Amino acid sequence: MSTTGFIGLGNMGGRMTRRLVDAGIDVLGYDARAESIATTGARPAHDVAQVAAETDVIMMSLPDSHVVEAVVGGEQGLAARARPGSVVVDLSTSAPASTRRIAAELAERDVEYLDAGISGGAAAAEAGTLTLMVGGSAEALDRVRPLFAAFASNVFHVGASGAGHVTKLLNNFLNAIALSATAEVMVAAKKANLDLSVVLDVLNKSSGVNFATLNRFPKIIHGDYLKGGLTNTLMLKDVVLYTELIAELGVAGLNAPGPLAAFGLARQLGYADQISNTVVDAIGDLSGGVRLHTNDTAEGDRA
């Protein structure tokens, strides 16, 4: 295939880029931190404008809509520089309203815009088993499916522009609920002097089973926090975006306070830039310095 552009080569973008390169795809990459490019195997671009000028498919993995808007806008941005007929894919977790505005702006310049929400985290990105939920035209999606195959095993077309990011926020909210609620339950189990491995076996064969009980806490109870995934700051950001979305839709947000409090607490207690799994330690801090495992101290975990 022709050269593919990739903007944002951080935690997730770097892993997806590496998968593309390993699949034999020529990738022209750009990141504000030049050192991030080297480990991906991509050819370094000088700026966003170069990526736009030299590629017909441009992928982005950026922190939020504000950064996406900055990359798209301006004289050197994608809206001004992307080739007519090209496809821009936003793999970030962005606000759907912003996504729809960008899609309309790019459409005026004959550029397709796909919003492709991601589920699976860093481990799935490395393994090439991500799930993508894509909004935009089916024709544009068909053009980039061969590229998605390098890092995703499940690709769903969920609707028109913005639908991918809506679906991502719905999924991430349930993820936040499961993680924060399970963290609270496991701290309670620890304080009750229960065998945590047995508790997880029970939960995973009972109605309390969820992604966190199946995939996260079997590691966490042994001190492995699965570093490299979504941070507490980004998880909180996603939950806030969810609350804004349901406010626009007129849906009652009865369950939002729990994860807002949990991940907000984690940020305030010093876990802002650590993987969101450390929310269990933030809850443990307020519960008497509880840790699910016994090898490390609270201060050691936070270091």
Distance CA 83, CA 99 (A): 19
Q: How far apart are CA 252 and CA 102, in angstroms?
A: 28
Measured torsion, CA atoms of residues 85, 6, 162, 95, in degrees rounded to the nearest 10: -140
How far does Cα 184 stand from its chain's mean position? 23
Helix (H, G, I), strand (E, B) or coil at 156: strand
Query: What is the CB neighbour count within 10 angstroms for residue 2?
Result: 9
Asked whether 271 and 279 are in contact (CB, 8 A), the reply is yes
As a residue count, the chain comes to 303
Strands 43-44 and 130-135 come out as: unpaired
Per the annotation, the verdict on 168 as an active-site residue is: yes
Amino acid type, 290: V
Distance in angstroms (rounded) separating the CA atoms of residues 243 and 259: 11
Catalytic residue chosen out of the listed positions 168, 190, 227, 237: 168
**Tokens of residue 216, six digits:** 């996260």
Residues marked as catalytic: 168
